[in-house]
Amino acid sequence: MALAKVPEITAYFWIVKVLTTAMGEATSDYLNQALGPAIAVPIMLIGLGVALRLQFRARTYVAWTYWLVVVMVSVFGTSAADALHVGLGIPYVASTLFYLVVLAAIFAAWYRSERTLSIHSIYTRRRERFYWATVLATFALGTAGGDMTATSMHLGYLSSGVLFAVVIAVPALAHRWGSLNEIAAFWFAYIVTRPLGASFADWFDNSRAHGGLDVGTGVVAALLTVAVVVCVGLLTVTGVDARRAATGPHPLPVLEMEFD
């Protein structure tokens, strides 16, 4: 039987996901400041390529390999989103709409090819490619959306973080008591984790003049990296997020459904 390549969706998944988004934001900013985008961005891209190669070569879900890709997508996705605004001068509203269109196009191609967007159907190479393309698009969209609320809408980083902390509850409530199906609820929440984590990371590391706590980008990136490593280490040792995935593609009672 084919083995799933993604983790069980539990509270642990969402905790680590938010931590990786915050860590990716801070790390990307630190590398761009320390090395300059001309050096930092190629390094991020190489790191992403290496991580993806390890993930594709794995035969089943491996916690450290999977989360390494998520971290590198987070780091590179931040720079990809920032490039449209900083490098080309495109407003955050426009870049948010652009990445929303990109994400919609990937979803359409994925569903047309596989007739499902279920993340626990990720046990073929083609579906895995669609999955990681979607993840990259969600990170870029979430980054642009978070920057849009914090700067273009003048909410600031803390208010943006609080806003997205409220918004992320919407898909869970809509699925539990409304008509939102599991797949839509999952991807809705997945997108929101990006601006949620990034907004709080920016609040901690930015200067007080920019509405932050002025902890420092390097310090925040280092602390979050330690937190991610500890969490993924615990997942690797306990295997709590791989119990069902390790037995093959298994439908989940939460955030899991295939379209008819």
3-class DSSP state of 115: coil
Q: Is 27 domain-assigned?
A: yes
Assess contact for 72 and 47: CB atoms under 8 A. Answer: yes
pLDDT tens string 6-53: 998 899 999 999 999 999 989 998 998 888 888 988 999 999 999 999
pLDDT tens string 116-170: 898 878 888 899 999 999 999 998 888 888 888 988 898 999 999 999 999 999 9
Q: Is 115 domain-assigned?
A: yes
Domain that holds residue 111: 11-247
pLDDT tens string 227-254: 999 999 999 999 888 755 444 434 333 3
Q: Is 82 domain-assigned?
A: yes
220-to-73, 78, 174, 213, 223 alpha-carbon distances in Å: 18, 16, 34, 11, 5
Q: Is 255 domain-assigned?
A: no
State the total domains in the chain.
1
Q: How far apart are CA 109 and CA 112, in angstroms?
A: 5
Q: Is 257 domain-assigned?
A: no
Q: Is 180 left (phi over 0), alpha (psi -120 to 50) or beta?
A: beta
Q: Is 159 domain-assigned?
A: yes
CB atoms within 10 A of CB 179: 7
Q: Is 76 domain-assigned?
A: yes
Share of the chain above pLDDT 70, in %: 91
Q: Is 4 domain-assigned?
A: no
pLDDT tens string 44-101: 999 999 999 999 999 889 999 999 999 999 998 778 777 777 777 788 888 889 989 9
- What mean pLDDT value characterizes the chain? 86
